[in-house]
Amino acid sequence: MNASAYQIRPAIEHLEDSQIVDVWKMGFSIPDVVGLWVGEGDLPTTKFVCDAAAEALAGGQTYYTYKRGLPELRHALIDYHRDLYGIELTEDRIAVTSGGMNAMMLIVQMLIGAGDNMVCVSPVWPNIYRTVEIMGGEARQVPMQGRGDGWHLDMDRLFGACDAKTRAIYVASPGNPTGWVMPEEQRRALLDFCRARGIALLADEVYNRLVYNQRVAPSFLEIATPDDPVFVVNSFSKTWAMTGWRVGWMVMPRSVVPAIERLIEFNTSGGQPFLQAACVKAVREGEDWVKWMVARCKSGRDLVLERLAGMNRVNVIPADASFYLMLQVADMGSALDFCKRLVVEGRVGLAPGTAFGAGGEGYLRLCYAQSNERLSEAMDRFEGFLRRT
């Protein structure tokens, strides 16, 4: 059969490429570019975590394992949530996944079919839109408004976007790219709405430890019951500098555990036990390192805010969480074109706000999870580029 006779589903054929990756790839051939574009820092995974993985690998932990993750890791996560939030989870509600992205894809596969929709608070990490589109559903975006005191969500607009085909509402708090943290009264109102409508609430809490005015960001787990339609997704990627390891987890309602287990079987058949052994080490013994890393990010944020404040064309939306800032540059034109020029002419990599959906237009995202030296160099180059354009 001729290759042209094969049919790709329209939902896949028409998936949009990531503008973040478009800009990022431009820097592959520019060795001296300072990349502040993607959602990871410049720190490698700390040694004691790597050593734990190597020891488990050498010890023969290379076989198939529990679909929802090693019991040791699930129990470590129970203790971790108890320490952070004072809550008691049961191990059956926890599933270890192949990254936070895999957790979200599993949930969407379970909930969304052709013609269904998920309402998403935006601007936000664009991959969540694609999970819905892959399933033939619609990702409805409800944009926040950026002001001088931060980002603001209109709850009436959020609720008004829901209809009889809404299967889930997605909210990231702390948010990527905004650093927005959902206020207490809005969290409770959203949970009540989802309970009353029978709509799933997909809470992306991957950045819950990257918060600078408290130890941990608030969680929906603090106010939800075990049977509420709430899915909380987290990841080892950001908190423990383990982006390339691809390990995450979800906390889910009891009623969906069998369905999630089946989906894990047909997607990945479960994760790698030697990586999970290292995750146990990170959770059990990594708290001092996490505190140090968060303090380092805060120092980077403060440096960037101070430098950007001295640039005439730049306006920054403040944020006390995540490791991103959203900024505007007067008269920059297309954010994507600006970022591409900045890579080539300024040797600095930023992400265009348009990559993050509605509400991101006119913004650039900067990831400051870097050393102060790299950030200072990036700010010097950025300022020089602005003066020349």
Q: What is the pLDDT of residues 162-182, one digit of tens each?
A: 999 999 999 999 999 999 999
Helix (H) or strand (E) holding 324: strand 324-329
> Whole-prediction pTM value?
0.95
Q: What type of residue is 101?
A: M
pLDDT given for residue 5 in this prediction: 64
Per CATH, the number for 3-45+288-388 is 3.90.1150.10
Output the CA angle 145-151-157, nearest 5 degrees.
50
DSSP state of 331: T
* 3-state SS class at 201: strand
| CB 24 within 8 Å of CB 221 | no
* Backbone dihedral angles phi then psi of residue 280, each to the nearest 5 degrees: -60, -45
Domain limits of the chain?
3-45+288-388, 49-285
Task: Select 49-285's CATH number: 3.40.50.1970, 3.90.950.20, 3.40.250.10, 3.40.640.10.
Answer: 3.40.640.10
CA distances from 233 to 42, 170, 195, 278, 307 (A): 24, 11, 19, 19, 34
Looking at the chain, the whole-number percentage of residues with pLDDT higher than 90 is 92
Residue 147, number of CB atoms within 10 A of its CB: 10
Distance CA 165, CA 200 (A): 12
* 3-state SS class at 214: coil
pLDDT digits (tens, 9 = 90+) for 305-362: 999 999 999 999 999 999 999 999 999 999 999 999 999 999 999 999 999 999 999 9
Helix (H) or strand (E) holding 151: strand 150-152
Residue 25, number of CB atoms within 10 A of its CB: 11
Q: What is the mean pLDDT of residues 148-161?
A: 96
pLDDT range class, residue 4, cuts 50, 70, 90 = low
Q: What six digits make up the tokens of 71?
A: 């019991």
DSSP 243-258: GGG--EEEE--GGGHH
3-state helix, strand, coil in the chain (%, to 5): 45, 15, 40
pLDDT given for residue 1 in this prediction: 47
Distance CA 363, CA 246 (A): 29
